[in-house]
Amino acid sequence: MFTCTATIDPAFVIAAVPPRLFGSFVEHMGRCVYGGIYEPDHAEADVNGIRLDVVKLTKELGITTVRYPGGNFVSGYRWQDGVGPLEERPVSLDLAWRSIEPNTFGLNEFMAWARQCEIEPMMAVNLGTRGVEEACNLLEYSNFPGGTQYSDLRIKHGVTEPHNIKLWCLGNEMDAPWQIGHKTGREYGRLAAETGKAMRRIDPSIELVACGSSSERMPTFGSWEADVLDEAFDVVDFISLHAYFEHHRDDRAGFLASAHTMDQFIEGVIATCDHIAAKKRSRRKLKLSFDEWNLWYENRLVVQDHLDWAHGPRLIEDEYTVEDAVVLGSLLMSLLRHSDRVTAACLAQLVNVIAPIRTEPDTDAWRQTIFYPFALTARHARGDVLRIEPVSPNLHSETGGDVPAVDVTATHNADTGEITVFAVNRDEHQSGDLRLRLAGAIAQEVVEHTVLGGADFLATNSKQTPNRVSPRSSTSHRIDGDLLCIDLPPVSWSMIRTAPAPMTAWSTDVD
């Protein structure tokens, strides 16, 4: 066993936990929509075709925001095809994923589902094959009360009240050569700026997200953000980040250090944003929207050009392991500690497609291993994120270099006095003895200690064994005065919640 130390002090605050940090992503890709959230023939479907078992798990997951309808899909999407009477909607070709799109689930169905799940929509507009006019028409249809062509069309379609969507993405991954309507940074920046300015004339209250790089591995990473923000800095509220992580070859240490890579990615984008702000003599601290992130075994993906045309094909339905869940928990920790700038994020995607929730036509939906760290973090990360600098031995990896064996972050709820600690042990062989000094806080007691991992790193949940992997309670902790000591098993993610100790435990001596 090795030792790691850190101090938790409620006075050292990074930022309040942003509610939008726990978002997800629903794209018309594979079986995310058709066969995922929407399956009229399923035993759990309601009268609108919505799978209620998926609604239940979405609420349990703690999702606050959902980005829709893409993704690559949006760059060729005609939103008008997905509204109005079902019998009048055309069947179309989705060029992004070579799929047949029936358009039986569109904007109004999505908004009804979002209300059912009690989530905020994050709508993307098509800036690949379309542009300023169509984005404005969609916004008018969605948000304008009535008395105009598109707002009256919405009312004609049975939606009397405006959807009042506040968060809008100006396209998707426009830096990527695989994107329909791919553009240079300058081309896209100009289009995003002009689209955003026009949309704000319709609804000044909306918030706008500009496309950042689709990956930090893109050859244009950094220069793309600079070019886009040179054009659109004064118009947009966010710039996006996208990143997917996977286990390469035999480098488990590098995979377990994925959050370290995420940290560097975020900090690089922040540096570019602040560079452009300085160049423009602006004091704005542009926010970041990490609106696609997850684990994705991209080496298993069949290249789009070789896919057969199909309706709701099975695409990248990765089955996640215990090890994957540990890494996902650490990625959430990275997002939390950058919550002063990353104020929106979307786990991609929600159902079936690299997702925490899986479905099949003949059974109930089930939770993948990655479901648990997300749900627990979304439920218990409350109040302020605290600045913590753990002192830990390093591990060496082929892809990540030297990284700390233990990562720690924490939140403090000033209203309740509760502290929630999230910790990851990346070491494959040794347990970690994490010693946390609780400074500046009244006496605490542990009210919950939950562990995921520590053994059977490759175990998964499946249709046959949906509950094989789940978090377990632990008693491997102790409090000695202001020192909280926690045992971290090898390759594990842990959550420890403390609350103020009862008054009877305090000294009541009075001079």
Structure confidence by residue, pLDDT tens digits, 417-473? 999 999 999 999 999 999 999 987 667 899 999 999 988 999 999 999 999 999 999
d(CA 148, CA 140): 8
Beta pairing, strands 65-68 & 23-25: parallel
d(CA 410, CA 483): 15
pLDDT band at 304 (very low <50, low <70, confident <90, very high): low
Averaged over 348-352, what is the pLDDT?
96
Whether omega for the bond prior to residue 368 falls within 30 degrees of 0, making it cis, is: no
Burial of 147 (0-12, 13-18, 19+ CB in 10 A): exposed
d(CA 285, CA 239): 11
pLDDT at 506 over 60: no
pLDDT at 507 over 50: no
pLDDT band at 397 (very low <50, low <70, confident <90, very high): confident
Q: How many CA atoms lie within 13 A of 4 on its CB side?
A: 27
Containing domain of residue 62, as a range?
A: 18-380
- Choose the final residue of a domain: 380, 408, 430: 380
Question: Do 6 and 134 sit in the same domain of this protein?
Answer: no
- Amino acid 504: pLDDT: 44
Query: Using one digit for the tens of pLDDT, what is the confidence trace for 472-488?
Result: 999 999 998 889 999 99
Question: Do 266 and 142 sit in the same domain of this protein?
Answer: yes
Q: Is 292 a catalytic residue?
A: yes
Helices in 64-210 by DSSP H: which ranges?
A: 107-117, 132-143, 149-156, 185-202
- Amino acid 421: pLDDT: 97
Question: Do 415 and 372 sit in the same domain of this protein?
Answer: no
- Amino acid 303: pLDDT: 59
The helix-helix angle for 185-202 and 223-232 (nearest 10°) equals 40
- 18 vs 303, higher pLDDT: 18
CATH at residue 42: 3.20.20.80
Q: Does any domain span residue 448?
A: yes
Query: Using one digit for the tens of pLDDT, what is the confidence trace for 178-206?
Result: 999 999 999 999 999 999 999 999 999 99
* Catalytic pick among 27, 101, 173, 216: 173
pLDDT band at 505 (very low <50, low <70, confident <90, very high): very low
CA 426-428-434 angle, 5° bins: 50
- Choose the final residue of a domain: 380, 395, 414: 380
Helices in 157-222 by DSSP H: which ranges?
A: 185-202
Question: Do 454 and 313 sit in the same domain of this protein?
Answer: no
Question: Do 371 and 395 sit in the same domain of this protein?
Answer: no
pLDDT band at 40 (very low <50, low <70, confident <90, very high): very high
CATH at residue 407: 2.60.40.1180
Q: Does any domain span residue 206?
A: yes
Angstrom distances, CA of residue 319 to CA of 323, 375, 439: 12, 18, 41
Is the CB of residue 127 less than 8 Å from the CB of residue 135? yes
Question: Do 126 and 196 sit in the same domain of this protein?
Answer: yes
Q: CB within 8 A of 157, min separation 6: which ones?
A: 83, 84, 85, 108
Query: To the nearest whole percent, how much of the chain has pLDDT over 70?
Result: 96
Q: Encoding tokens for residue 429?
A: 């062989």
pLDDT band at 508 (very low <50, low <70, confident <90, very high): very low
- Amino acid 503: pLDDT: 60
Q: Where are the beta strands (DSSP E) in 71-201?
A: 92-94, 99-101, 120-125, 167-170
Question: Do 454 and 354 sit in the same domain of this protein?
Answer: no
The helix-helix angle for 149-156 and 132-143 (nearest 10°) equals 50
Total domains present in the chain: 2
Question: Do 362 and 483 sit in the same domain of this protein?
Answer: no
The helix-helix angle for 52-61 and 107-117 (nearest 10°) equals 60
Q: Which amino acid is at 182?
A: H
- Amino acid 458: pLDDT: 93
Hunting for tokens 């009477």 — which residue is that?
85
Question: Do 460 and 345 sit in the same domain of this protein?
Answer: no
- Choose the final residue of a domain: 362, 380, 398: 380
Query: Using one digit for the tens of pLDDT, what is the confidence trace for 454-468?
Result: 889 999 999 999 999
Question: Do 169 and 279 sit in the same domain of this protein?
Answer: yes
Query: Using one digit for the tens of pLDDT, what is the confidence trace for 214-263?
Result: 999 999 999 999 999 999 999 999 999 999 999 877 788 899 999 999 99
Question: Do 321 and 222 sit in the same domain of this protein?
Answer: yes
Question: Do 291 and 348 sit in the same domain of this protein?
Answer: yes
Q: Does any domain span residue 511?
A: no
Averaged over 147-158, what is the pLDDT?
98
Q: Does any domain span residue 274?
A: yes
Q: Is 319 a catalytic residue?
A: no
* Catalytic pick among 109, 292, 323, 418: 292
- Amino acid 306: pLDDT: 66
pLDDT at 60 over 70: yes
- Amino acid 298: pLDDT: 78
Task: Report the SS3 class of residue 39.
Answer: coil
